[in-house]
């Protein structure tokens, strides 16, 4: 079996999770930017940071898969919003469905784990995006705020980490399944 962990990470959180997963499974971890031919692998574990609903690098990487009949695909999103919130999970999955070929989405096992943010590290575009989003949602009535809105309001302009390597345990079980 030729297995691979691929990650899409802009500020390093997803990379940290990918490297921990690599250590615990003995599967090599590589950035989506450096992957040569994804069709060489039998088991593909993709971790991507969430950016405005998109999973960084996922679509670009997985659409190069030709034949998935004998492949195992595990997808993991890393975001700030609460991965235990049902509405949030449904939202993330709906977005993922629109970013992937249908057969890949249907075949994949999907997990959601929580990341971190450090506003001092964000680039200008991301800082501006967050400022606009924050202004748009901060005065919404409580019941209208989504899990994403709440996570953003609670962490705005701060350095906050929800990294929890124990959230990888279920994923490791699935990988070894
Ligand atoms: C511009 C921007 C957009 C984001 N959009 C989302 C989002 O839609 N949902 C979410 O849960 N987290 C969102 N986040 C939080 C990131 O997913 C989180 O910081 C993650 O840990 C980033 O992973 P990375 O460090 O590997 O790039 C966003 C962060 C930024 C800066």
Whole-model pTM: value is 0.97
What's the distance, CA 105 to chain centroid?
Answer: 14
In angstroms, the Cα distances linking 50 to 11, 13, 83, 88, 99 are: 11, 11, 12, 12, 12
User: Tell me: the pLDDT tens digits for 83-131?
Assistant: 999 999 999 999 999 999 999 999 999 999 999 999 999 999 999 999 9
Does residue 21 belong to any structural domain of this protein? yes
The reported pLDDT for the residue numbered 1 is: 83
100 closest CA partner among 72, 75, 78: 75
Residue nearest to atom 18 of ligand 1 (CA): 79
In this structure, how many other beta carbons lie within 10 angstroms of the beta carbon of residue 56?
Answer: 20
What total of structural domains would you count in the chain? 1
Q: Which CATH number covers residue 102?
A: 3.40.50.360
CA of 130 to the centre of ligand 1 (A): 10
Q: How many residues does the chain have?
A: 177
β partners of residue 111? 76
Top mutation candidate among 50, 82, 130 for ligand 1, by most atoms within 8 Å of CB: 50
């Amino acid at each position: 079996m030729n297995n691979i962990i691929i990650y899409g990470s802009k500020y390093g959180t997803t990379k940290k999770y990918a490297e921990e997963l690599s250590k615990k499974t003995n599967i090599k971890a590589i950035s989506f930017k450096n992957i040569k031919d994804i069709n060489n692998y039998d088991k593909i574990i993709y971790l991507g940071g969430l950016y405005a609903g998109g999973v960084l690098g996922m679509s670009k990487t997985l659409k190069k898969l030709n034949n998935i009949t004998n492949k195992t695909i595990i997808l993991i999103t890393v975001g700030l919003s609460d991965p235990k919130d049902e509405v949030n999970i449904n939202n993330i999955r709906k977005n993922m469905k629109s970013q992937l070929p249908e057969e890949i989405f249907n075949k994949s096992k999907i997990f959601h784990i929580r990341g971190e943010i450090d506003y001092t590290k964000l680039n200008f575009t991301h800082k501006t995006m967050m400022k606009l989003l924050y202004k748009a949602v901060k005065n919404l009535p409580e019941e209208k705020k989504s899990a994403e809105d709440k996570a953003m309001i609670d962490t705005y302009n701060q350095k906050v980490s929800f990294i929890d390597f124990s959230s990888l345990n279920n994923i490791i079980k699935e990988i070894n399944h």
